[in-house]
Chain A
Amino acid sequence: MPVVDLRAAAAAAAVCIALFAAAAAAQDIQPADVLVKNVTLEVVEIVKRDKDIQAGDRRKVVELIEAKVVPHFNFTAMTASAVGTQWGKANAEQKLRLTEEFRTLMVRTYASSIAAYRNQRLDFRPLRAKPTDTDVTVNVRVLQPGTEAVKIDYDMEKTARGWKVWDVRVADISLTANYRTEFANVVRDSGIDGLIRILQAKNSKALERTPVAGAERK
């Protein structure tokens, strides 16, 4: 009897290893929800430990985001979504510059949100998607007493370089969709170059202001 058991176990183990190897060969990329959870927890852990960030050191927050968060975002897709129908009218150079400026704007906004983080509890919701899906929404909820949970949805697309975020919705407010009307108005009045100029002005003005949102919290 023990012999049979051992054999069965060995066979099962072999099958498992084979399946695992096959799966690993097919895709050695982290599932979207695992990726979001790992990155979020890592960033939160660093923010909690870093005295400079808690004191409102903008440069360090931006560095942290550039290193840990930015690689998982597809800023070209985000910019395209924010610019909307006019995106097709931009040439390659304009698209690049638009993306560059929008990326700066997003990183700055994100830096302010992180600096405002105050040990709220995070609830990582299980992903409701088929393993074959290439476009999923990962849901995280920020829990705090006295108010309803703040829902953060990451819309993600699977690429050869792993899962990439192409939109973030905070409390059902899409960060990219929220710029569409503004951007469309600017493009209508002063063209794509006008939009690039306005974004540049906005970004360089923000550089002069050193304190980051949440810096003066107690």
Chain B
Amino acid sequence: MSGLWAGVRGGRGARLKVLLAAFALVLASGCATTNGSDPRDPLEGFNRSMYAFNDAFDEAIGKPVASAYKSTLPEPVRGWVRNFFANIGDLFIGLNNLLQGKPADSVNDWARFAFNTIFGVFGINDIASEMGLEKHNEDFGQTFGRWGSPSGAYLVWPLAGPSTVRDSAGGLLDLYFDPVRRHQPDDARLFAGLLRAVNQRADLLDASRILEEAALDKYLFQRDAFLQRRRGLIHDGNPPRESPSSRERMNPRVQAEPGAPAADRLFEEPAAAGAAVAEQAHSYEPRLPANYEAVVAASRVRR
């Protein structure tokens, strides 16, 4: 979960050194380790090296610092920090909603910014949410996606973490407009950037532990989760159902086991499978094994 280091945007010199070190590491480990098995991830070898670097950095610095931060500051204080940066973010979330042709959402976001800045004491209290003005999640990468740009290859950046070609381009714009990056003087900017990053990492300590428990291959798990998440965000939580071809590719086609007892009617593979597939071409459903009942019965015996 080193993506959270996207928050560190100050300290150019130190960051550059780390970056160069990372690239040297990649060159040394060689990009030739590509499996090339996934068309969405042609640079898997490079990405895996970057992931390994980020993971090592997170283990050595990210997680310990975030844990210490979390155990030092009580939740209300961390909440103020979270809200303060979230409030600044609302400005550009509003801009992106406008660019995506959702002016009502922009008004919502800017109203949030106004209320939280004025009545929420510079945004440290999120009173707008309590008033029913919902927090949104938008960035320039999503705006490009909304405009029809394909995501391009999956990319993992040092410290910044998972991205795609499109989202990297968007990320550069996000960075350009980022009020924290533009803040003067340098010390204040560095402090604000680090505070934001550490707070974000602390908020994700539970999530990253869950990821570690759930994944067999953490790289693949994070990549697929990231791509699913971005797809969902671009469609504001209502991504279109999978296309018939990908559905066909993903779908387990289950053959009836000979001699299996009659299955629950709802779980039966339709007799005219071809017709059924044509009929449901626009919906994604997993096919259940025809011997579902037998499987369930057997599992009951086993337990």
Q: Decide: A145 and B229 in contact? CB cutoff 8 A.
A: no
Determine which of B129, B237, B254 lies in contact with A172 in the assembled complex, contact meaning CB atoms within 8 Å: B237
Given A148-B134, A160-B266, do A86 and B289 touch, yes or no (CB 8 Å)?
no
A194 to B38, CA, bound (A): 21
Question: Does the CB pair A213–B288 fall under 8 Å?
Answer: no
A173 interface residue (CB < 8 Å to B): yes
Within the assembled complex, what's the spacing in Å between the Cα atoms of A108 and B209?
Answer: 12
Q: Which A residues are in CB contact (< 8 Å) with B249?
A: 85
Q: Are A181 and B206 in contact (CB-based, < 8 A)?
A: no
B287 close to A (CB within 8 Å): yes
Q: How far is the CA of A100 from the CA of B295 in the complex (A)?
A: 11
Q: Which residues of the partner chain A approach B295 to less than 8 Å between Cβ atoms? A: 76, 92, 95-96, 99
**Nearest chain-A residue to B137 (Cβ)?**
A148
B279 an interface residue at 8 Å Cβ cutoff? no
Interface of chain B residues 179 through 199 with chain A (CB within 8 A): none
Determine if A112 and B288 form an interchain contact, defined as CB atoms under 8 angstroms apart: no
Instruction: State whether B206 touches A99 (Cβ < 8 A).
Output: no
Stretch at the interface among A8-16, A22-30, A32-40, A151-159: A151-159
Q: Contact between B255 and A88 (Cβ–Cβ < 8 Å)?
A: yes
Interface of A is mostly: helix
Query: How many residues on chain A are close to B (CB under 8 Å)?
Result: 60
Which one of A108, A145, A147 has the highest number of Cβ atoms from chain B below 10 Å of its Cβ? A145
Shortest Cβ distance from B245 into chain A, in angstroms? Answer: 13
CB–CB B79/A145 < 8 A: yes
Q: Are A146 and B213 closer than 8 Å at their CB atoms?
A: no
**Cβ of B294: which chain A residues have Cβ within 8 Å of it?**
92
The complex places the Cα of A158 from the Cα of B31 at a distance, in Å, of: 49
The reply on A190 being an interface residue by CB < 8 A is no
Q: Does B48 contact A (CB under 8 A)?
A: no
Chain B residues within an 8 Å CB radius of A202: 216
Cβ A214 vs Cβ B206 within 8 A: yes
Contact B286 A81 (CB under 8 A): yes
Q: In the complex the two chains form, is A177's CB within 8 Å of B228's CB?
A: yes
A148, B135: Cβ atoms closer than 8 Å: yes
Within 8 A of A (CB), among B77-132: 79, 82-83, 86, 125-126, 129-130
Task: Say whether, besides A146-B82, A217-B206, A178 and B225 are in contact (CB < 8 Å).
Answer: yes
By a CB distance below 8 angstroms, the chain A residues around B265 are 160
Which chain A residues (96-126) contact chain B, with CB distance < 8 Å? 96, 99-100, 105, 108-109, 112-113, 116
Tell me whether B213 and A77 are in contact (CB under 8 A): no
- Check B288–A76 contact: CB distance below 8 A: yes
B228 adjacent to A178 (CB under 8 Å): yes
Residues of the B chain whose Cβ atoms lie less than 8 Å from the Cβ of A174: 228
Digitize A142-180: 1 where CB-to-B-CB distance is under 8 Å, 0 elsewhere.
Answer: 010111110100000111100000110001111011111
Q: Quick check: is B17 within 8 A (CB to CB) of the other chain?
A: no
Interface check B177, CB cutoff 8 A: no
Instruction: Return the contact of B209 from the options A84, A171, A178, A214 (Cβ within 8 A).
Output: A214
Residues 202 to 221 of chain B near chain A (Cβ within 8 Å) = 203, 206-207, 209-210, 213-217, 220-221
Separation of A149 and B249 alpha carbons in the complex (Å): 32
CB distance from B135 to the nearest CB of A (A): 4
A61 beta carbon closer than 8 Å to chain B: no
Q: Does B302 contact A (CB under 8 A)?
A: yes
Interface string of B259-303 (1 = CB under 8 A from A): 010001111000000000000000101111101101110110010
Q: 10 tightest CB-CB pairs across the interface, nearest first?
A: A172-B232, A87-B252, A213-B209, A116-B206, A145-B126, A81-B286, A146-B82, A146-B83, A146-B86, A148-B135
Question: Which B residues contact A (CB, under 8 angstroms)?
Answer: 35, 37-38, 67, 70-71, 74-75, 79, 82-83, 86, 125-126, 129-130, 134-137, 203, 206-207, 209-210, 213-217, 220-221, 223-225, 228-229, 231-233, 237, 239, 249-255, 257, 260, 264-267, 283, 285-289, 291-292, 294-296, 298-299, 302
Q: Mind listing 13 A-B residue pairs with CB under 8 Å?
A: A84-B251, A84-B252, A88-B252, A88-B253, A92-B257, A112-B209, A146-B126, A166-B286, A172-B231, A173-B225, A173-B232, A174-B228, A213-B209
